[in-house]
Structure 1
């Protein structure tokens, strides 16, 4: 699946919002450069786990160290390897082109949703 067949990405950061997306069967690719003093990967993942527990979502975390990415999926609604690879490829393209991802609502409005 080529990266251009991936839905237009948007930025989701809030752990509760991430858990809600996972509950719906989506997955999240976290770019490590988005970490800062208020958002390190370990603390963010702990907050995502807590939010998932509140929704009875079993999360699975895959960190791809050479690419500085972490993928979080719902372990009960697992995407295909091709879907994850396409998402990772899209994230790398956006990173390479220095594209700034908008939050969900502006991204959906741009798609006409």
Structure 2
């Protein structure tokens, strides 16, 4: 069973997760009005450089989302498919994601 998703807003925190081999499925509506996708990707890239993480991004325009992962710790295709499906489900039912700590506490960790 996949882990309960949560959100990360800080690019430096995201870079730390990527360094650990985690990946992100980012739905573009989370950008809001104050940021665009190229600016967000540049901020993530810069944070990854600070940790010597080679990040890869795949944008899927028709799904309006971007996948980000560590190029040295690539998740397999099934993991990516499951994460994309979960992001689409959360979007469809308008589920609001919580921060990591709240999500982990709710899981009893």
TM range (shorter): over 0.9
Query: Is 2:79 the counterpart of 1:83?
Result: yes
Structure 1 residue ranges, 4+ long, deviating more than 4 angstroms after superposition? none
Shift of 1:39: 2.4
CA distance in 2, matches of 1:21, 1:38: 24
What's the Cα RMSD here?
0.8
Q: Structure 2 CA distance, aligned partners of 1:108 and 1:28?
A: 17
The aligned runs of 1:1-113 (5 Å cut-off) are: 5-113=1-109
Unpaired segments of 5 or more residues in structure 1? none
Offset at residue 40 of structure 1 (A): 1.6
Output the TM-score relative to the length of structure 1: 0.93
Aligned residues: 109
SS in 2 for 1:73: strand
Classify the secondary structure of the residue corresponding to 2:68: strand
